[in-house]
Copies of this chain bind each other. A is one copy, B any other.
Amino acid sequence: MHINQQQITDYESQYRARLINSLSGFKSANLVGTINDKGVTNLSIISSVFHIGASPALVGLIIRPHSVPRHTFENIQQTKRYTINHVSAGFWQQAHQTSARYAHDKSEFTAVGLEEEYIDGCIAPFVRQSKLKYALELREVIHLAINGTELVIGEITDIMVDHQAIRKDGYIDIESLETVSVSGLDSYHRSQRLARLTYAKPEKPLTNLSLDGEEGDK
């Protein structure tokens, strides 16, 4: 089936939103934790977190200012600090519930029943239930004039993770942590590993790696 640009434009807006949101594939499910200058915490599920670079360790996310994560955006601008918390199989429904439009003075932590956790040097709250989470310092906000969204770029300052999930070569086995993914606007998924693959070279056949990144695993 071939859908052309005119058809895309003509779709009813909710239909189009579901369709277009499905095209970017499986997306990471993350909760962004923030706090405002009155001490009210905020938690917002965001599926647009993406890797920008490892050195410095930079992560980007897209915020639509007129949608629910608006409080998140305001808080990040106020405090320059935020946390990103992997959503795992134990609390994915509570994570989805954070997308409801709660009042500005109501914390989603309380509303959905997740617990705050803090570390020294970061004012923003982590989600205690999350098995892989990290703190960021705001580095840059780039306004995307093309559709009025904001690209928020942060540098990772602290990583909190179960020690056993970090494999010998640095790879974190997020499947063992039961991190979930999202497709479209509202579908959540577990994962099932196919394999880790060797670094690709032009004339060398690929083989599987062990979870620790060692060659020779079948």
Contact = CB atoms under 8 A, between A and B. Distances in A.
Interface of A: 1-5, 8, 11, 13-30, 47-60, 62, 64, 84, 86, 89, 92-93, 96-102, 111, 119, 132, 134, 139-140, 142, 144, 146-147, 149, 151, 153, 156-163, 166, 169-172, 174-175, 179-181, 183-202, 204, 206, 209, 213
B192 A188 contact: no
Given A3-B160, A8-B159, A18-B170, 14 more contacts: A4-B157, A16-B57, A21-B51, A23-B57, A24-B49, A25-B29, A26-B174, A27-B50, A52-B147, A98-B200, A100-B204, A142-B144, A171-B187, A175-B189
B97 A23 contact: no
Contacts of A15: 169-170
Contacts of A99: 200
Contact of A149 (B20, B53, B158): B53
A26 B181 contact: yes
A95 B8 CA distance: 28
A146 B17 CA distance: 31
A157 to B, nearest CB: 5
Given A119-B2, A144-B52, A172-B19, A89 B202 contact: no
Contacts of A101: 201-202
A110 B159 CA distance: 41
For A14, A52, A100, which residue has the most chain B Cβ atoms within 10 angstroms?
A52
A47 B197 CA distance: 15
Contact of A198 (B53, B98, B186): B186
12 contacts: A2-B119, A3-B159, A15-B170, A18-B213, A20-B54, A24-B28, A25-B174, A27-B28, A51-B62, A171-B184, A171-B187, A181-B181
Given A15-B170, A187-B195, A96 B51 contact: no
Contacts of A50: 24, 27, 48, 50, 62
Nearest to A48: B50
Contacts of A26: 26-28, 174, 179-181, 191
